[in-house]
Structures are given as structure tokens and as C-alpha cells.
Structure 1
Amino acid sequence: MRINLLGAPVDCLTMEQAEERVAELVRSGGPRRIITLNPEFLYRAVREDHTLMELVDRADLVTADGEGIVWGGRVAGTPFPERVTGIDLMLRLVKRAAAEGWRVFLLGAAPGVAEEAAENMVKRFPGLQVVGTQHGYFKPHEEAGIVETIKQRAPQLLFVALGAPAQEKWIDRHIESIGDVVAIGVGGSFDVISGRVARAPLWMQKLKIEWLGRLISEPSRWRRMLVLPKFALLVLRTYRLGYKN
């Protein structure tokens, strides 16, 4: 079932159900897009860049990434069962890939990070087939070659860590050329999996304040955090006060 939140179709799924949905997409073949939707992305899609909403509309799976989206669903009267974050979904999919024999490609982050993340994942999930890695610091004229490399390696899962919404735009531009692959933007997940950046402690995750942990560890994110109260106000105006977007 899909829920309409501020005009965006978001799948109402648990983490386990999202994993199974991705497995179905892998088995069905074809170019497939997954968006893990957070408040910042959705706010920009509604208020600043309507092309982002088009990306959401074209996605085969849209998850409620972030407590803000889950809260928005409750306010709208259509609650989500839980949040389905990019990094947690990625780790479940990598584990599934090792068991199912799916091929994986990592694209993005700083030079060396994707390789370190791949090494750690292979250690954690023996049998995982990482068929390639590519850092995200490439020039526009290099994109065609990168796309061709990914196509030749024929991954079934493509994780793109270029930051939102750049990663979703990159996927949308190139996925048809790559072909049979399920592509998902995962933000800073490679940094965490590589060990270069520490994720917020589990107690923060359980208290649903992981965003605060990220702000403490990365103070430069404060400007991005300013969108959260704007998003909350937009949700309240729309669903409690009856204003149109």
C-alpha cells in the first residue's frame, strides 16, 4: 500500500517487507529505482524543486527514511509501521545478496571509502560479490565511462552514495542505460560502513533522535537541519490547518 504524503507516494512497509519488495524487483529484472525519502528531500520537492517530486513518482519503491516522515504520516492520519532508513535497508540487502548470489556495485563517497566499505561488507557477509567500486569525485565527462563500466559488471544492486538529491538525479539519468539493476541512493552510508564515520549510538536510534547524533558528530550539518522545522510546519499547515501546498 502507498500513502500520499504532501503529494509524494510513499510505500507503507516494514523494513522486512521493504527487503522482500527489493528481492521481487531484483527477480523481475529491468531498471528499478528506490528512493529512501527523508524530510529534507520531500520539503525541497514540494517547495523548491518540483523535478524531485517527479523522481519520487518514477520510483519503484519509496521508503519512509527518517522519523520526520513517520511523524508526518501520523499527523496525516496514515501512519507508517516504522522508518526504513537507507543504511539499514542497504545492510539487509547486502546480507541478502550474499545469500542469494546477487552482484553488488558501490558508487560514491570520497576516494577509497567505497573500497573500504566493500572490504568490510565482504568480511561481515562471506560470499558477497562486490563486482566494482567507484568514488564519487568524478568529472561530468567521465560519467559515460563509469556507466559503461557498471553495465559491463552487470550488478543486480547498485548503491549510490552521492548525497541527496544528486544521487537520485544520477540514477534517473543513467539507469536506463545500465539496464537490469535495482539502484538505491544511500547518502553517507559508505562512510559509516567503512568505519570512517561513527553512526549515532543505538540508544539515540531507539529514542528516534539519530539526527541529533549526526549533528553533534558533524556540526557543519546545522544548515541542513534548518529544514526540519520548515517541514514540520508544512505538515501541520496541510493536515491540521487545511492549507494547500
Structure 2
Amino acid sequence: MRVKLLNAPIDCLSMDQSVERVAELISAGGPRRVITLNPEILYRAVQVDHDLLELINKADLVTADGEGIVWAGRVTGTPFPERVTGIDLMLRLVDRAAAEGWKVYLLGAAPGVAEDAAKQLTRRFPGLQVVGTQHGYFKSDEEVAIVQSIKQKGPQLLFVALGAPAQEKWIDRHIESIGHVVAVGVGGSFDVISGRVARAPLWMQKLKIEWLGRLISEPSRWRRMLVLPKFAWLVLKTYRLGRKL
């Protein structure tokens, strides 16, 4: 089931169901988009960047990435089964790719990070086919060649780690040229998988305060965290005070 939250569609799917949905998209063929939607992206789309909201509405799968989105679902009376984060979805899809024989391509992050992430993934998931990597520090005039290289290598899964909303906009610009691929924006996932950035401890993840762990390890994120109370107020104002957008 797909619901609307602040005029953005979000699929009410568990992690297992999201993986199955991606498998269906791969089987169906064609260019497909997956967005893992967190409060920061949604707030920006609704309040600042309406082009981003259009991209969210075009996506074939939109997951509830972040406890803030899950909370908002409870507030609006359309609860989500669980949060489906970008990195967790990526790892589950890579596991499935190794079993199914799907080819994978990693695009984004600093030079060397995608390559290291690919090495870690192939060690962790025997049989995984990573058919290519490309760092995210390329110039605009290099994009055509990069897109053609991805197309020639024929991945079924393209993970793009350029940060939101840059990754969603890059996917939208080029996915039609790439063709039969499911593209997923995964933010800083390559940095974590490669070992360059430590993820919050499991106990923090279980307590649903992973955001706090990221803030402690990256204090410079505090300005971005200011979006969270703004998002919460927007949800309450819209759905509890009767002021529909």
C-alpha cells in the first residue's frame, strides 16, 4: 500500500517486502527509481525544492527511511511496518544480488571509497558481481561517458552515493539513458561499508537513536539536525491542527 505524507508518496512496506518489490522491478525491466525518504529530504521537498517533490512522486519505490518518517506515519494514522534505511536496504539487496546473479554498480563518494566498498561487499557476499565503480568527484562534462560505461556494463542494480538530493537528481537526469536498471540513492553508505566511517552501535540502532550516534561522530551535522524539529512541527501542524497543505 502506498500512502501520502505531506504530499509525498511512501510505500507501507517492511524491509523484506521492499526487497521483494525491487526484485519485481528488476524482473519487469526498464529504468526504475528507488528513494529512501528521510525527514530531511521530505522537509526540503515540501518547503524548499518542489522539483525534488516531483522526483519523489516519480519513484517506483519510496521507503520510510528514518524514525522521523515512521513517527509521522503514526501521527497521520497510516503507520509504516518499520524503517527501511538506505544502507540496510542496500545490504539486503546486495545479498539478494549475490544469490540471484544480479550485477551491481557503485557510483559516488570520494575517490577510492566505492572501490573499497566493492571489495568489502564481495568478501561479505560470495558470488556478488560488482561490474564497476566510479567516484563521485567527476565533472559535468564527464557524465555522458560515465553513463555510457554504466550502460555497457549492464548492471541490474545501480547504487548512487552522491548525497541527497544530488543523487536523486543525477538519477533522474540519466536513468533513461542507462535503460534497464534499478537505481537507488544511498547517501553515505559507501563510506560506512568501506570502513571509513563507523556506523552507530547496534544498541543505538535498536533504541532508534542512530541519528544521535551520527551527530556525536560528526558534530558538523548539527545544522542539518535542526530540520528534525521543523519537520515534526510541520507534521503536527498539518495533521493534528487541521491545516492541510
TM-score normalised per structure 2:
0.99
Match of 2:35 in 1: 35
The answer to whether the aligner puts 1:66 opposite 2:66 as a matched pair is: yes
* CA distance in structure 2 between the aligned counterparts of 1:24 and 1:77, rounded to whole angstroms: 28
The answer to whether the aligner puts 1:119 opposite 2:119 as a matched pair is: yes
Deviation per CA, 1:193-224, whole angstroms, max 9, x where unpaired?
Answer: 00000000000000100000001101111111
Match of 1:17 in 2: 17
Match of 1:3 in 2: 3
Which letter maps to 1:154?
Answer: G
Shift, 1:243, TM fit: 1.4
Which letter maps to 2:187?
Answer: G
> Residue 138 of structure 1 aligns to a residue in which SS?
coil
Shift, 1:242, TM fit: 1.0
Shift, 1:3, TM fit: 1.1
> Residue 106 of structure 2 aligns to a residue in which SS?
strand
Match of 1:55 in 2: 55
> For residues 184-199 of structure 1, what are the structure 2 equivalents within 5 Å?
184-199=184-199
> Residue 33 of structure 1 aligns to a residue in which SS?
strand
Q: Percent identity?
A: 82
* CA distance in structure 1 between the aligned counterparts of 2:137 and 2:220, rounded to whole angstroms: 20
* CA distance in structure 1 between the aligned counterparts of 2:87 and 2:4, rounded to whole angstroms: 24
Match of 2:109 in 1: 109
* CA distance in structure 2 between the aligned counterparts of 1:186 and 1:4, rounded to whole angstroms: 22
Match of 1:219 in 2: 219
Q: RMSD value over aligned CA atoms?
A: 0.5
* CA distance in structure 2 between the aligned counterparts of 1:148 and 1:220, rounded to whole angstroms: 36
* CA distance in structure 2 between the aligned counterparts of 1:244 and 1:24, rounded to whole angstroms: 34
* CA distance in structure 2 between the aligned counterparts of 1:180 and 1:232, rounded to whole angstroms: 38
> For residues 150-169 of structure 1, what are the structure 2 equivalents within 5 Å?
150-169=150-169
Which letter maps to 1:28?
Answer: A
Deviation per CA, 1:101-160, whole angstroms, max 9, x where unpaired?
Answer: 000000000000000000000000000000000000001111111001000111000000
Unpaired runs of 5+ residues, structure 1, are none
Shift, 1:244, TM fit: 2.9
* CA distance in structure 2 between the aligned counterparts of 1:75 and 1:221, rounded to whole angstroms: 26
Match of 1:134 in 2: 134
* CA distance in structure 2 between the aligned counterparts of 1:99 and 1:91, rounded to whole angstroms: 13
* CA distance in structure 2 between the aligned counterparts of 1:51 and 1:212, rounded to whole angstroms: 30
> Residue 196 of structure 1 aligns to a residue in which SS?
coil
Match of 1:78 in 2: 78
Shift, 1:228, TM fit: 0.4
Which letter maps to 2:173?
Answer: R
Match of 2:174 in 1: 174
* CA distance in structure 2 between the aligned counterparts of 1:3 and 1:172, rounded to whole angstroms: 22
Which letter maps to 2:166?
Answer: A
Shift, 1:184, TM fit: 0.3
The answer to whether the aligner puts 1:209 opposite 2:209 as a matched pair is: yes
* CA distance in structure 2 between the aligned counterparts of 1:150 and 1:223, rounded to whole angstroms: 35
